[in-house]
Amino acid sequence: MNDKAEQNTGDTADDGRQTYVAGVSYSAVREFADALPVGVVVTDMQERIEIVNQAAADIINVNPEDIQGLRAHDLVVGDSIDTILRQTQKRLRGESSTYEIQVADAEGNIRTIQLSAAPRVNSQGEIDGTISVVFDVTSERRTLEALRKREEMYRGLFENAHDAILVEDSDERIIDANRAAESLLGYSREELLDMRTRELEAAQMTSDEALEIYSDPAAPDEIMIPRKLQRENGTTVPVEIAVTRIENHERDIFLSIIRDLSRREQSEADLILAARELGMYTSVLRHDLSNDLQAIQGYVEAAQMLMERRGGEAETMLRSASAAAERMKDLLNAFQSPADKATRSLSQLIDNVIKRTEESSRIKVHTEIDPKLDKCEIPLSKLLPIVFENLLRNSVRFGKGKIEIWISATRKGDRIVVDYTDNGPGIPEEIQDDLFKRGVSTTGSGLGLYLSKQILSAISGNISLLNTEKGKGAAFQIEIPVAS
């Protein structure tokens, strides 16, 4: 290195080479970089760091001297090495560029760095490195990623919604539509974006007052509009549209959620028809069964009169037949007309069922009813006694010898809890999980407990099987809501 060179450069790099940045000395560049509030990094063509200011070092929580002399490859993570190699080639061609890489800071956290890089030219006009201004954009990228994920989430909700959804401007022009809207209306999304919702109306059903939501800022922000829309194939569909105004800093937009009413209307029609058919069916059923029941009861009463002095097993069987006929009559009576919105005592209901059953069967029922329940009323259901009759009947059917049953009832919150236990053989393990399904039984039709479950569900009650030891009887818990 000669005196002339010393005089021209005014300084040398740490490795003894004369270093220029467009004719400016190394020390001048370093002083300039240190004075800047933004990060500055100067590298050679091997991407070795020659100058790094404090602002750049602060990004990764290190001192400048800790990384000076390192190659950029030593700091980056992932595929950022490939990015640096591609950018180095651009520098050799004299190109400037802005790009992002990821680096690990002193604590091992990944930071996203944005670099605006330009070729470094020495005093001979040769490209011998890169000058980069660096910015920490980690927070911005995380925010953008969070926004992207949120947008994906909302887009997924929008596209997968069961109801049709349209997004409109203040002119009712459709600016977005989900897949359910395409399916309901038969138009593609592209076709819908060229339309206004009013063009889809099959008949004028929308009042002028309802349409004010689109034009009058003082109108309610939400409104329900009944409409009949015309599909692409010419058929019509009755709908209910919930329109909500969403304020936007540029313009208001309107979210229209379209509920297809055709299935509801069809369901209502089906229910009306089913109710009419059920009425005709029960009318015929009451007539035919009532005649047969009258005959059965007449024969039983006559037989009892003839056997009053004989007693014995035949008399017990006749009493059982009479009780069964009485239950059939009660069931028929239950279907004659809907129950009134009255209430009655659970204690009285249980007493009536027990009294009928004990008179016709070889059972003893022990009850423990909380006296406070006398002040509680339950929803009147003409079918509710069947629940207890089914349980008692099963205890008799499957029990042997002297049959004993324990029934206790107490109030827990807004429900009355009834525990029912017998001394029978219990419920076979293989049918316990499906006990309340239709057709599940060890004998018989398997309708009793299924029907009990349905009756209780209709009044928001429940019945469940309790765990007992094998052979130690069956135990059930019944929940009945207290009438409001």
Q: How many residues does the chain have?
A: 484
Six-digit token string for 118: 């330009």
Q: What is the DSSP string of 329-397?
A: HHHHHHTSSPPPS-EE-HHHHHHHHHHHHHHHSSEEEEEEE-GGGGG--EE--TTHHHHHHHHHHHHHH
Instruction: Give the CATH number of domain 340-484.
Output: 3.30.565.10
| Tens of pLDDT, residue by residue, the chain (484 residues) | 333 333 333 344 444 444 445 556 777 778 888 888 999 999 998 999 999 999 999 999 999 999 999 998 889 998 999 999 999 899 889 999 999 999 999 999 999 999 999 998 887 888 988 999 999 999 999 999 998 998 889 888 889 998 999 999 888 899 999 999 999 999 999 999 989 888 888 765 555 655 677 777 777 778 888 888 888 988 888 888 888 888 776 778 889 999 988 777 666 655 664 565 455 446 545 555 665 566 666 667 767 676 665 555 566 666 666 666 666 665 565 454 444 333 478 888 998 888 877 655 678 899 999 998 988 888 777 778 888 988 988 888 888 888 899 999 999 988 999 999 999 888 888 888 888 887 676 655 456 788 788 888 878 899 999 987 777 899 999 999 987 5
Side-chain half-sphere of 209: how many Cα atoms within 13 Å? Answer: 4
Domain 3-137 superfamily per CATH: PAS domain (3.30.450.20)
Q: Under DSSP, is residue 154 helix (H, G, I), strand (E, B) or coil?
A: helix
pLDDT of residue 186: 93
In this prediction, residue 80 carries a pLDDT of: 92
Cα–Cα distance measured from residue 16 to residue 28, given in angstroms and rounded to the nearest whole number: 16
Query: Distances in Å between the alpha carbon of 313 and those of 286, 361, 393, 404?
Result: 32, 12, 19, 20
For residues 248 and 337, give the distance between their C-alpha atoms in angstroms, rounded to a whole number: 57
The number of beta carbons lying within 10 Å of the beta carbon of residue 250 is: 5
> Residue 16: its pLDDT value, please?
40
**pLDDT attached to residue 13:** 45
Q: Which two tokens stand for residue 327?
A: 């239950």
pLDDT at residue 184, rounded to an integer = 92
Kindly tell me the sign of the dihedral angle through the C-alpha atoms of 103, 104, 105, 110: positive
Asked if 97 and 117 touch (Cβ cutoff 8 Å), the reply is yes
The CATH architecture one would assign to domain 161-260 is: 2-Layer Sandwich (3.30)
Interior CA angle at 443 toward 442 and 447, to 5°? 95
Q: Against a cut of 0.95, is the pTM above it?
A: no
- From residue 22, give the alpha-carbon distance in Å to each of 10, 16, 25, 132: 14, 19, 9, 14
Specify the residue for token string 């369901």. 267
State the Cα angle at 173 between 172 and 177, rounded to 5°. 105
Query: What is the Cα–Cα distance from 384 to 334, expressed in whole angstroms?
Result: 10
Where would I find the beta strands (DSSP E) of 178-252? 222-230, 236-246
pLDDT of residue 337: 44
Tell me the three-class secondary structure of 53-114, residue by residue. Answer: CHHHHHHCCCCHHHHCCCEHHHCECCCHHHHHHHHHHHHHCCCCEEEEEEEECCCCCEEEEE
Identify the pLDDT of residue 59: 93
Distance CA 195, CA 208 (A): 20
Report CA-CA distances (Å) from 399 to 314, 336, 392, 430: 20, 34, 10, 19
